[in-house]
Structure 1
Amino acid sequence: MSGLWPVPDVLGFLAGEWDVSRSVRDLASGEGGSFTGTTVFQRLDPAGLLHLESGTFTWQGVARPASRTLRFLPGPAPGTADVRFSDGRPFHALDLTTGHHLAEHPCAADLYRGEFSVLDPERWRTAWRVSGPAKTLLLTTAYTRRP
């Protein structure tokens, strides 16, 4: 893919604070929602990052506080990450050495397919498509480094 920015060290790249803007679309009903907030990637001892996301999720005109925590640990190859839920369960691998990565995560009967794209040193985005009997969603997120 052209126009992508390769990242030799994903943990080094992500460290710091990011503004987050996410659109959520229910592909079955056409309903839409949004999330706006911040994500902080703070250092974990001895290695890795703690991903702390917080903000406001709006669905059907109702705004609510929302947050999530993930762990980004060093991956099996230099510069990659092993992404885990806050309780340690595996989520997905992450390799941005080309500026682009595809990931999958089975969750009960649903399948999450993610696409990660680094646009430049200050911006990256994700698109997760969720399909299965419980939900059919498209979640698109833009991250911009905070000054």
Structure 2
Amino acid sequence: MRLRLSDFAGDWTLAREIAQPGAGTARFEGRACFTPQGAGLAYHEAGTLTLPGAAPMRAGRDYLWREEGAEIAVFFSDGRPFHRFDPEVPAAQHWCDPDDYRVRYDFAAWPDWRAEWRVRGPRKDYVMRSLYRRG
């Protein structure tokens, strides 16, 4: 089955771990929602982020996903390009000088899916793993 942008529409539960060497593992629990917006889907996530040794706090983020040919293009909420990927070859990268962001999506257990970000550079060093489930 070839995934299309419309397959992501709707509500998802979201569980995330952010592992940072020497700083422990942060956890995020919340929801993600893809809703129609113009020619794409607006992505909004909201939930609770718990950092090691800190009180839980509310957190969220927003993106815009668009289908462009066989690829899905992801943009920051202000319209700047973030990354793009082909669901058949679900990997991408983003250079945010001086840090390198690389993502690998895993759709093998669809409709459950995962995203793993590896971020390296002089300012950042972490691995972020997210699990999305229909909900």
Report the TM-score range of the alignment, normalised by the length of the smaller protein.
over 0.9
SS class of match (2:79)? coil
Identity of aligned residues (%): 33
Question: What is the match of residue 25 of structure 1?
Answer: 19
Are the aligned partners of 1:51 and 1:72 in contact in 2 as well (CA < 8 Å)? Answer: yes
Question: 1:94 Cα deviation (Å)?
Answer: 2.2
**Length, aligned pairs only:** 134
Higher RCO, 1 or 2 (CA under 8 Å, sep at least 6)?
1
Structure 1 letter corresponding to 2:66:
L
Q: How does 1:109-124 map to 2 (within 5 A)?
A: 109-124=98-113
Distance in structure 2 (CA, Å) of the matches to 1:12 and 1:132? 34
Question: 1:110 Cα deviation (Å)?
Answer: 0.6
Matched, 1:63 2:56: yes
SS class of match (1:43)? strand
Question: 1:12 Cα deviation (Å)?
Answer: 1.2
Matched, 1:140 2:129: yes
Distance in structure 1 (CA, Å) of the matches to 2:3 and 2:20? 35
Q: Where do 5+ consecutive residues of structure 2 fail to align?
A: none
* TM-score (normalised: structure 2): 0.93
Matched, 1:53 2:50: no
* TM-score (normalised: structure 1): 0.86
Q: Where do 5+ consecutive residues of structure 1 fail to align?
A: 1-5
Distance in structure 2 (CA, Å) of the matches to 1:119 and 1:66? 28
Question: 1:7 Cα deviation (Å)?
Answer: 2.8
Matched, 1:72 2:61: no
Question: What is the match of residue 7 of structure 1?
Answer: 2
Question: What is the match of residue 106 of structure 1?
Answer: 95
